[in-house]
C-alpha cells in the first residue's frame, strides 16, 4: 500500500523548533497529513493527542503538518526504501510541525482530496471534516487553515528491474503556500 510523502520546503518551525510530538490511538497517519493538537496524554508531559479535524473545530483551530523522519527498518527490499512505504503507526508518537502564513511545503498528490485527476495551480486547500487530508477547492473559503497550490512537480526516476520492465519511482508533489493558519 502506498502512503503519502511530504517535503518541508520553507517551513519556519523546522528552524525555530516549534514541533509537536503527537500520537493517535486508532489511526495510522501518513506524512503530509494534517491534524490538530489535543491535550497531553495521561502520564505524558511532551506527547499530545493527535485530533482529526472536525466541523466544529475547522474554523477555529490551527492545523499542524505531520512529517516524521522516514525510517526504514527493513532494508531487504528496494521498494521498502521508497517514500511511499512509510507511515506513522497508531499508538506510536510522531512529529508534526506548526504552520504559519508564508510557509511552503509539498505533499504527494495522494495526501490531498483533489477536485480532478491533478491539482490545479491557483486553487486552494482547506481542512475537511473527519479526514487528515487537505481538500482542494476553487475558492478561498473561511476556514482557519487555507493554503494555495503554487506548483506541481515530479521528483525521482524510474527504476529498471530486468525482464519485468520498470518500477515507477516518480512522486508527483503538490507545492502549497500557507495563506493562513
**CA-to-CA distance for 40 and 55, rounded, in angstroms?**
22
Find the length of the chain: 181
**Eight-class DSSP state of 31:** T
Q: Please, are residues 94 and 66 in contact by the beta-carbon 8 Å criterion?
A: yes
Q: Looking at residue 1, what is its pLDDT? A: 46
Q: Looking at residue 111, what is its pLDDT? A: 92
Residue 152 in grid coordinates:
506541481
Q: Please, are residues 113 and 4 in contact by the beta-carbon 8 Å criterion?
A: no
Q: Looking at residue 88, what is its pLDDT? A: 85
**Eight-class DSSP state of 32:** T
**Eight-class DSSP state of 117:** S
Q: Looking at residue 171, what is its pLDDT? A: 83
Q: Looking at residue 76, what is its pLDDT? A: 54
Q: Looking at residue 165, what is its pLDDT? A: 58
Got the DSSP string for 78-113? GGGGSGGG--B-TTS-EEEEE--TT-EEEEEGGGEE
Q: What is the pLDDT of residues 45-91, one digit of tens each?
A: 999 999 999 988 888 889 999 998 876 665 555 555 556 667 888 99
The sheet carrying 6-10 orders its strands as 6-10, 104-108, 171-180, 146-155, 124-126, 134-137, 112-113
Low-confidence ranges of the chain (pLDDT < 70): 1, 71-85, 159-168
Amino acid at each position: 500500500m502506498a502512503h503519502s510523502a511530504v517535503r518541508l520546503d520553507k517551513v519556519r518551525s523546522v528552524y525555530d523548533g516549534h514541533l509537536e510530538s503527537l500520537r493517535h490511538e486508532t489511526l495510522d497517519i501518513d506524512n503530509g497529513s494534517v491534524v490538530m493538537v489535543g491535550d497531553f496524554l495521561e502520564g505524558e508531559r511532551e506527547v499530545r493527542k493527535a485530533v482529526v479535524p472536525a466541523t466544529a473545530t475547522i474554523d477555529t483551530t490551527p492545523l499542524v503538518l505531520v512529517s516524521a523522519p522516514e525510517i526504514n527498518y527493513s532494508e531487504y527490499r528496494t521498494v521498502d526504501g521508497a517514500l511511499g512505504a512509510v507511515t506513522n503507526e497508531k499508538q506510536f508518537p510522531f512529529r508534526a510541525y506548526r504552520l504559519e502564513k508564508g510557509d511552503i511545503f509539498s505533499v504527494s498528490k495522494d495526501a490531498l482530496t483533489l477536485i480532478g485527476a491533478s491539482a490545479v495551480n491557483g486553487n486552494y486547500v482547506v481542512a475537511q471534516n473527519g479526514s487528515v487530508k487537505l481538500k482542494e477547492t476553487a475558492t478561498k473559503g473561511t476556514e482557519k487553515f487555507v493554503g494555495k497550490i503554487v506548483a506541481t512537480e515530479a521528483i525521482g526516476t524510474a527504476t529498471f528491474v530486468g525482464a519485468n520492465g520498470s518500477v515507477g519511482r516518480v512522486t508527483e508533489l503538490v507545492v502549497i503556500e500557507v495563506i493562513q493558519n
